[in-house]
């Protein structure tokens, strides 16, 4: 799959797979490697959840049956995960309670993604036209431009990546601003 062919659902599903990979990496790594994997996870979740919150969930609210209740549940889960990431960042990867707390987050994030896939994305793909699905992909692209979630060939650690290794709530806010700018253009 390339960006040229992908619609927003393809991109979000691909990010769910990347999230699972990073959750496993954080769980298995230690020290600096664990810290880097955790920062990567924060960036990827910020890009992913902010694009969903700003562009995908609002459309789903109207487009799917029982959309309000389904989307409200997902938003509550996203808010909880964001605050759990902030707590884990504050705690630090070497803290005695990190493993247990991170395992709880990993479980909730995985379940959240499954719920989106079965109750939201599948229906969006049935009900929305190809043009709308492709248009929404722009939100994810705008978010990824601020915080690249995969290595760009020929460039080492990117400046934005370094700047975005900070506190999770600040990373989420920075990306939300970029997605809102994209939407207002
Ligand atoms: Fe989500
Ligand atoms: Fe998601």
Nearest listed ligand to the Cα of residue 12: 2
| Torsion of the alpha carbons at 125, 129, 132 and 133, rounded to the nearest 10 | 30
**DSSP state, residue 147:** S
**DSSP state, residue 94:** T
- The confidence score (pLDDT) of residue 162 equals 53
Cα separation of 78 and 131, whole Å? 27
Distance 175 CA to ligand 2 centre (A): 16
- Computed over every residue of the chain, the mean pLDDT equals 90
- The confidence score (pLDDT) of residue 154 equals 44
Cα separation of 56 and 12, whole Å? 10
- The confidence score (pLDDT) of residue 147 equals 80
Digits of tens for pLDDT over the chain (185 positions)? Answer: 555 567 899 999 999 999 999 999 999 999 999 999 999 999 999 999 999 999 999 999 999 999 999 999 999 999 999 999 999 999 999 999 999 999 999 999 999 999 999 999 999 999 999 999 988 999 999 998 888 765 544 444 554 555 566 799 999 999 999 999 998 98
Nearest listed ligand to the Cα of residue 16: 2
Cα separation of 16 and 44, whole Å? 10
Cα separation of 109 and 21, whole Å? 12
- The confidence score (pLDDT) of residue 90 equals 96
Distance 112 CA to ligand 2 centre (A): 7
Cα separation of 141 and 148, whole Å? 9
**DSSP state, residue 93:** T
Cα separation of 170 and 131, whole Å? 32
Nearest listed ligand to the Cα of residue 75: 1
Nearest listed ligand to the Cα of residue 121: 2
pLDDT tens per residue, range 4-41:
567 899 999 999 999 999 999 999 999 999 999 999 99
């Amino acid at each position: 799959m390339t960006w040229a062919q992908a619609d927003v659902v393809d991109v979000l599903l691909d990010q769910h797979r990347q999230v699972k990979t990073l959750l496993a990496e954080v769980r298995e790594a230690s020290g600096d490697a664990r810290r880097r994997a955790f920062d990567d996870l924060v960036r990827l979740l910020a890009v992913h959840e902010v694009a969903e919150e700003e562009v995908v969930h609002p459309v789903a609210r109207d487009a799917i049956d029982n959309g309000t209740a389904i989307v409200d549940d997902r938003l509550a889960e996203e808010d909880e995960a964001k605050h759990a990431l902030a707590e884990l960042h504050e705690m630090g990867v070497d803290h005695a309670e990190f493993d247990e707390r991170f395992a709880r987050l990993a479980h909730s994030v995985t379940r959240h993604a499954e719920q989106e896939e079965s109750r939201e994305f599948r229906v969006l793909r049935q009900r929305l036209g190809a043009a709308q699905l492709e248009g929404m992909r722009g939100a994810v692209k705008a978010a990824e431009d601020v915080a690249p979630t995969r290595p760009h060939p020929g460039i080492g650690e990117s400046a934005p990546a370094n700047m975005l290794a900070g506190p999770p709530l600040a990373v989420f806010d920075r990306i939300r601003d970029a997605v809102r700018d994209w939407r207002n253009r």
